[in-house]
Amino acid sequence: MVTDMEHRDQKQSNHRLLQRAEEFVRRENMLPPGGGLVLCTVSGGLDSVTLLHFLHRLAEEENFRLTAAHFNHRLRGEASEEDARFVEQLCAQWSIPCVAGDGDVAAYAEEHGMGIEEAARHCRYAFLEEAAAALGAERIATAHQAEDNAETVLLQLIRGSGSEGLGGIAPVRDKLIRPFLTVSREEIEAYAAVHDIPHREDASNRDLHFARNRVRHQIMPLLQEINPAVVQAIGRAAAVRRQESDLLQQIAQAEMGEVVVDNEGAFAIREYFQRTDPALVPRMLGILLDAAGLGRKDITAQHYEAMTELVLYGADGAELHLPGGRFWCAGNTAILHREDKTPQQMQPLMPGDSLCWGDYFIHLAKNEENFAEKWDTIRLKYDMIHLPLLVGPWERDQGMTLPPSRGQRSLKRLFADKGLSAHERDHAPVFYTDGQVCAAAEIGADEAFLAEEGEAALCLMIKKIERD
């Protein structure tokens, strides 16, 4: 039974939450213009349901419309289905419109060579962007709070992130808003208790297989023994770092001068990189990456280090292969060009034919032939290949099953298992028959197409081109 004093304390906690969150929302200019739509992500957990309740109350005062959005990751079987039903029923009870989506996150992770957490984030945000576009939503609200922000900073620090990563979660980024970013989990719990807000617990939040959960349940408690206010301290440090990072980005933009964009990529004056402070060079290179259309998703700290070394000290003509592109210096020009994933279009291959595709020589024979040099041989079932065999690039939606069978795996994952870089993967030929992958260089044959000893076979003879 709640005493009068406890009830008064809860009301005070409720007031502090409302006041801090409302002030934060207004200070960061999070809300859309009058009558605009906010799409609130709702997993069914305490934080997101509380955010929905908070925004529902605020919508009347601030004159904006609110819709909930739930994405079913299909990772927890019936529990995931129950989460979806819970959110739908709660929104109906509160008279809030709700849109829902789902996706096979585990399959997406396998196909794209990602961890489950990263794949879930990709799928979820893709759904949110699509839903926002369809509904005309001007803002997408997520329930990240102060502890989430502190955990993110620690994870970035552990991974060796630069200053941008150590800025933590941004309060506003494009359409995304985080109204609870300065609010503690304890305050959210107090607000939910006052308003009798129901929610569902996700058992995976305690699964120590995930790095974030290990930080949350093992590392943070130790840090709180040193400083009970460590969450707030990390949040303040991250906010300062974001401000500094924004300023450095503006300086880097001014230092590098004009970036010229053409059909193949972008280029800038090399001298500008060499005359500025070295600390700004990685940021300038990031601007060049964005201008060239490569983006930064697959660019690691090692790539930035190599690019910095090349642009500052590299010989004229020296070049560096990057995921999806090529960086080199010609005279006083730093050039970054995209490389098409496909070095060539699909090419037909008949028995007796030879061709060069990507980084490989290829010969197709009715029987295994002896070559003067060592070639890799892949024996395919003769009666399962509809000629001509097609040679082309790997495709994201294609996979193979290798013996002994572990089930089908994506080509990207199989190439990664062989240690191939992005450039090597994009220049390795894949062999198709009737639209199916039957074999791939560096990987071998799909189990269904692999010829056994004594069986009539077509022999793929493959040799990698040695480049200087």
> So what's the pLDDT on residue 404?
77
- Please list the residue range(s) of the chain that carry CATH number 3.30.465.60: 256-338
Angle CA 410–457–404, to nearest 5? 40
CATH classification code of 256-338: 3.30.465.60
Residue whose pair of structure tokens reads 């964009």 in the numeric block: 261
Residue whose pair of structure tokens reads 């609110």 in the numeric block: 66
- For 4-243, which CATH class? alpha beta
pTM over 0.75: no
What is the per-residue pLDDT across 268-312, written as a single tens digit (0 to 9) for each?
999 999 999 999 999 999 999 988 887 776 677 778 888 999 999
> So what's the pLDDT on residue 373?
55
Across 200-206, average pLDDT: 80
Helix, coil or strand: residue 146:
helix
Tokens encoding 1 = 């039974």
Nearest one of 139, 182, 142 to 24, comparing CA atoms: 182
Q: What is the CA radius of gyration of the chain?
A: 27
- Please list the residue range(s) of the chain that carry CATH number 3.40.50.620: 4-243
What is the per-residue pLDDT across 105-159, written as a single tens digit (0 to 9) for each?
888 777 666 677 878 888 899 899 999 999 999 999 999 999 999 999 998 888 7
Q: Is the pLDDT of residue 253 over 60?
A: yes
Per this entry, what is the length of the chain?
Answer: 468
